[in-house]
Amino acid sequence: MLARLLACVSCAWWMALPLVQAQSDLVIHWVDATGLPAPQTTRLGHTLHVGAWIDGVTQSTVQGQDLVVDDEGWCAWPEVPSGVYVLESLPWEWVLVVDNALPGIDTVTLVVPEALPAKLRGNTGVVKYQAHHPGTALDEVQAWVRADLDSLDLYQLMATGAVGSSEEARNEASQNLRAALDSGQGQWRAFADRFRPNTLWGDLFAYECMAWQMSLGAQAHEFDPFLEDTPADPRSMTEQLASPGWCESWRLKSEGWSDRLAEQGMPWKRWVGYGQTDSLSQALGWSVNEVHLTLWMASDEQPRGAFKAWWEARWRDQCDVAEARRLAEQTQRYPRTAQSWGDLMWMMPNGDIEPAWASESDSRWFVWLVVKDGSSTAMRERAVLRSFMERLDTRQVGWGVLSVDDSNEGWKRTLSDRMSTKERVQWVGRDPAWWDRLHLQGVPQVVLVKPDGTIATHQARLPSEGLLADLQRTLNKRGARRP
C-alpha cells in the first residue's frame, strides 16, 4: 500500500491526521510539465480539493477544504496540521506530507504530467519540494536504493534459489549480499543526517532503510540508520498510526508472525478465530495494541475468515488501535450512505445550487444513472433507461441523471439531452467528495436508492444488462404493478 506514497517524492506524497497541535504554512505552486501555470494551460480550473488521510493503515481520505489557485498557479495554505494530504483536480492527484517538525514556510510545486491520464481518478501527479527539504532527500534515498538493489539483483535471485545455481554459488551470493549490507551502512548513516527520527519524514526514511535491509536478507532491524543514542519515540500509538512510514515499518517487522507460531506448534488460528488476544500477546511478546495492529493489517489483506472473526469478537476493545480502526470504518462507510448526500450541493437544471438528496420521497425507489458528456455508452444507457421508465409505475420508481462533466459546456450538452421534466438531471462535476459518495468506478454507472433513502447499491446492473428485471422483481415483492 505504501507504493502509492513511495511513487517517488518527485512523483507523489502523502498525509495523515494531525500528529501534533503545531501547524505549518504552505505555499502551493501548480504548474504543467513545462513550468507554466496550470490554470492557464490546462482545463483543470482553479480548485484543488483537499483530502486528509485518516490513518497510515487504510490510507483512505476524508474530504475537507478546497484551495483556490490564482491565474499564475499560486495558492497560500496557512496553518496546516501535520499529516498526509491528497490534493485532487480530477483526474489528477498529488499526495503530500506536511511535517510540522520543519521550521518556516514550506513551498511545494505540483506538476500536471504531460502524459494522458489512464483512468477517471487517481492518476498520480508530480510533487516537488525545495532543495533542502527532507522530501527531496528521500527522493535521493529512493534513487540510491533502486540503483543498489538493481546491481544486486542476480545475487538475490541466486541466494534465494529463484534461479538454478549450485550450493557453492548460493553461498557466494549470500556472502556478497552480506558484504553489500555491511558496506551500505555508512551510506545510510550519511543519509540519516538529513532526517529527524520519530517524525513523518524520519519514519519514511526508516522504512526505506528497513526494506533495503530485508531485501538483502537481513532481519527487519539489523541496524538503525540513526545514531545509537536516538531517544525513545515520545509519540503515542495514536500519533504513530497517523504516520504511514511507521505503519509500513511495523508491517515489515511483523511479517511471518503466524508462521513462527505455527512452527512452535501454537494454535494461532484458534486464538485468532476466538479473539484470544492475551494468548497472542503472550506468545508474540507484543502489546495488545501491537496485536490489534497486526491483525488489522492482516484482515486488510485477507478480509475473510479468521481475521474477520477476530475483529467481530474484539471490535469493542478499549485500546488505541481498536479505536482508530473503529473510526476508520465509520469514516469509510459514511460517504456511501444516502445521509451523506445532504452534506453536499448540486446544480439544478435552472442553474440553482441546492442541497443534494438521494431519494426525493420516502415512498419510491430511485435510479440514478451517472453519465459524462462524450461517453457513447452513457448516452446509449440513458436512452435504454428512459425507455424502461416509461413502462414502470412512476408512483413506485423515479429516476434521474447525475452529470460528472468537467466543464459547463459538457454539463449543458448533458442537460440538453433531457426529454421531459420527469427525467431529473443534476450536475455534480469533478468534486472528489461526490465521487466518494457515488463510489464511482466508471461511466456509466447506476446507483439504486431504496424508498427509505438508503443506498441499495452503488453498482446496480446497467439498463441494457438487466436493471429492469432486477427492479421488477423488487417491485413485485412489494405488490407493485407490472409494466
Task: Give 117-133 pLDDT, tens digit per residue.
Answer: 999 999 999 999 999 99
Q: Which amino acid is residue 213, in one-letter code? A: Q
Q: How far apart are CA 23 and CA 158, in angstroms?
A: 49
Q: What's the pLDDT at 2?
A: 59
Percent pLDDT > 70 in the chain is 91
Helix (H) or strand (E) holding 415: helix 408-416
- Mean pLDDT over the full length of the chain: 89
Would you say residue 142 has pLDDT above 80?
Answer: yes
Q: What's the pLDDT at 18?
A: 37
Do 9 and 130 contact (CB within 8 A), yes or no? no
Model pLDDT for residues 244-297, shown as the tens digit of each residue: 999 999 999 999 999 999 999 999 999 999 999 999 999 999 999 999 999 999
Q: What's the pLDDT at 5?
A: 53
Structural Rg of the chain based on CA atoms: 26
Q: What's the pLDDT at 482?
A: 43
Task: Identify the DSSP state of 302.
Answer: S
Q: What's the pLDDT at 180?
A: 86
Q: How far apart are CA 347 and CA 380, in angstroms?
A: 23
Would you say residue 11 has pLDDT above 70?
Answer: no
Q: What's the pLDDT at 128?
A: 96
What are the φ/ψ torsions at residue 446 (nearest 5 degrees)? -115, 125
Grid cell locating 192: 540519516
Do 396 and 429 contact (CB within 8 A), yes or no? no
Q: How far apart are CA 98 and CA 110, in angstroms?
A: 14
In this structure, are strands 365-371 and 397-403 parallel, antiparallel, or unpaired?
parallel
Q: What's the pLDDT at 372?
A: 95
Would you say residue 329 has pLDDT above 50?
Answer: yes
Q: How far apart are CA 10 and CA 110, in angstroms?
A: 9
Task: Identify the DSSP state of 351.
Answer: S
Higher-scoring residue by pLDDT: 417, 4: 417
Closest by alpha carbon to 340, among 447, 223, 232, 227? 447
Do 257 and 295 contact (CB within 8 A), yes or no? no
Task: Identify the DSSP state of 37.
Answer: B
Q: How far apart are CA 42 and CA 38, in angstroms?
A: 5
Residue 317, C-beta contacts closer than 8 angstroms, at least 6 positions apart: 277, 288, 292
The pLDDT-based confidence of 169 (bands split at 50, 70, 90) is confident
Would you say residue 16 has pLDDT above 60?
Answer: no
* pTM, entire model: 0.86
Q: What's the pLDDT at 103?
A: 74
Q: How far apart are CA 303 and CA 295, in angstroms?
A: 10
Q: What is the mean pLDDT of residues 202-217?
A: 92
